[in-house]
Amino acid sequence: MKRSLNLMSDRALHRTQWRQGVRLWSKVFAVVSLLLSLWGFTAWRSCQLELQRQAIAEVEYEPTWRLRSEVTRMKNELAELTKQDQIPLALSQHQPALGLIGLAARQIDDRQEKLFIKRIELTRDPLGKVATQQPSLSFVVQGVTTEQIVADELAARLRELGPFSNVKLDLREQGDLQEKMQHEFNILCTY
């Protein structure tokens, strides 16, 4: 067994212990720094890989996103067109009205310059028939004729062939046209 005697002063002893502590803690700090830098590098690398995957996915799904934006644009355009084209929508929901326009056109051809249509107007009232839960449709034919009987015949034909609940003829004398009396008429048909 060896015995030793420490002849160092207290100050030198403290310095030596302090240096040993610094060496120990510097080793611990170096190990912790190394571990933290490895963890930081792996986190940075995984983040970079995720960014690359995201970029690849964006390139792959770009046509889908383009189609989605195109569908949204087309829906907005369709809504705008629907607002602008209420009369064609009313015609598409009430097919008899198309036949009645054709009937009015045939009457014009049959009368050979005795009947002139100025305007045909379709009006749809969505709250018209509350009891049957069906929208009402008004069909107005405005025109001019040289013979009163021609307007009466057109109104009678519309009563016969049309699905209207009411057909009303309003006839007014307008004046002379080439030595013939000219009559202005309105035929209001309600469905």
Tell me whether residue 48 is in a domain.
Answer: yes
Residues 95 and 16 reside in one and the same domain: no
pLDDT of 72 reads: 94
Residues 45 and 118 reside in one and the same domain: no
Number of folded domains in the chain? 2
Residues 127 and 182 reside in one and the same domain: yes
User: Strand, coil or helix: what is 21?
Assistant: helix
Closest among 174, 99, 188, 180 to 147, alpha carbons compared: 180
Residues 72 and 102 reside in one and the same domain: no
Residues 159 and 135 reside in one and the same domain: yes
Tokens of 46: 């995984």
Tell me whether residue 145 is in a domain.
Answer: yes
Provide the 10 A C-beta neighbour count for residue 173.
10
* Last-in-domain residue among 30, 50, 84: 84
**Residue 142 phi, psi dihedral angles, 5° rounding:** -115, 135
* Last-in-domain residue among 39, 59, 84: 84
Residues 102 and 177 reside in one and the same domain: yes
pLDDT of 54 reads: 93
Residues 6+ apart with CB under 8 A from 67: none
Its domain, for residue 55, covers 10-84
Residues of the chain with pLDDT under 50: 130
Residues 122 and 161 reside in one and the same domain: yes
Contact criterion met (CB below 8 Å) for 163 and 152? no
b (16+ CB within 10 A) / e for 6-35: eeeeeeeeeeeeeeeeeeeeeeeeeeeeee
* Last-in-domain residue among 32, 64, 84: 84
pLDDT of 99 reads: 65
pLDDT of 74 reads: 93
Tell me whether residue 26 is in a domain.
Answer: yes
Residues 109 and 36 reside in one and the same domain: no
Residues 100 and 184 reside in one and the same domain: yes
pLDDT of 48 reads: 96
Residues 40 and 52 reside in one and the same domain: yes
Tell me whether residue 5 is in a domain.
Answer: no
pLDDT of 6 reads: 75
CA distance 46 to 125: 64
pTM above 0.85, yes or no: no
Residues 182 and 94 reside in one and the same domain: yes
Tell me whether residue 2 is in a domain.
Answer: no
**pLDDT tens per residue, range 76-126:** 998 887 777 665 555 555 555 566 666 666 655 555 567 777 888 877 765
User: Strand, coil or helix: what is 51?
Assistant: helix
Q: Which helix (H) or strand (E) holds 144?
A: strand 134-145
User: Strand, coil or helix: what is 182?
Assistant: strand
pLDDT of 147 reads: 81
Residues 100 and 170 reside in one and the same domain: yes
Tell me whether residue 41 is in a domain.
Answer: yes
Token pair 């644009």 in the structure block, residue: 73
CA 15 to each of CA 12, 128, 155: distance values in angstroms, whole numbers, following the listed order: 5, 104, 123
CA distance 188 to 191: 10
